[in-house]
Amino acid sequence: KAGVTQTPRYLIKTRGQQVTLSCSPISGHRSVSWYQQTPGQGLQFLFEYFSETQRNKGNFPGRFSGRQFSNSRSEMNVSTLELGDSALYLCASSALTPWNEQFFGPGTRLTVL
Amino acid sequence: AQSVAQPEDQVNVAEGNPLTVKCTYSVSGNPYLFWYVQYPNRGLQFLLKYITGDNLVKGSYGFEAEFNKSQTSFHLKKPSALVSDSALYFCAVRDSPSGGYNKLIFGAGTRLAVHP
């Protein structure tokens, strides 16, 4: 089975721009979660999607948004980029039971200049 | 609120020696606990999990973890460390059901350095 894929792997943007990151989950996984990883804040939960619905959202400003498509692929969008948005953005997919582990993609490294 | 603490920023161990990476947790209700490893410029790889049952959980690459309810700990262990085990290790707990099944709360991470 193919793993979680994320595109692009690296991205450089300037302040004020917007960016869209894409995630394809493992086949059959309907839950997709997004995390932000920074040296200062560590790993922080952004949001989770299941069946095209956002089920949970972390403590991030409204500039961070996401969506999920009918094939379970997910995108996240960050508008009006700030320098502090520079981070590794990780996508994870899982089956829908509470004891199932999440499988992570390689991440998208976003640099905001 | 659920939380996880990894008290050591870095653990150094000689190759061939046993290793322990510490994790303590605070949850309401039954804990669902996980260990992940991250290699440079990579995503997180799942190592093992504790849901219920035996307190000693065996996982990938020879790792195991011991769940201790009275001490609220879930330490990661390996009997004999390899240089290739050098990486960043994260302990995580699933948030409460009201927080969503797939929201993980991560510790700050522990960097493991295995020296030849």
The answer to whether the CB atoms of B103 and A56 lie below 8 A apart is yes
> What is the rounded CA–CA span in Å between residue A28 and residue A33?
15
Burial class (CB in 10 A: 0-12, 13-18, 19+), A60: middle
Interface test with A, best of B30, B49, B60, B101 (most A CBs within 10 A): B101
pLDDT digits (tens, 9 = 90+) for A3-27: 999 999 999 999 999 999 999 999 9
Model pLDDT, residue B98:
57
Chain B contact for A53 (CB, 8 A cutoff): no
Question: Which pLDDT score is estimated for B96?
Answer: 65
pLDDT digits (tens, 9 = 90+) for B54-74: 899 999 999 999 999 999 999
Residue B53 has pLDDT above 90, yes or no: no
Which helix (H) or strand (E) element contains residue B53? none
Q: Using only C-alpha atoms, what is the Rg of chain A? A: 13
**How are beta strands A74-78 and A64-68 bridged, if at all?**
antiparallel
The tens digit of pLDDT for each residue in A90-110 reads 999 998 776 788 999 999 999
How far apart are the C-alpha atoms of B53 and B18, rounded to whole Å? 25
Chosen for mutation from A6, A44, A102 (greatest number of chain B CBs closer than 10 Å) is A102
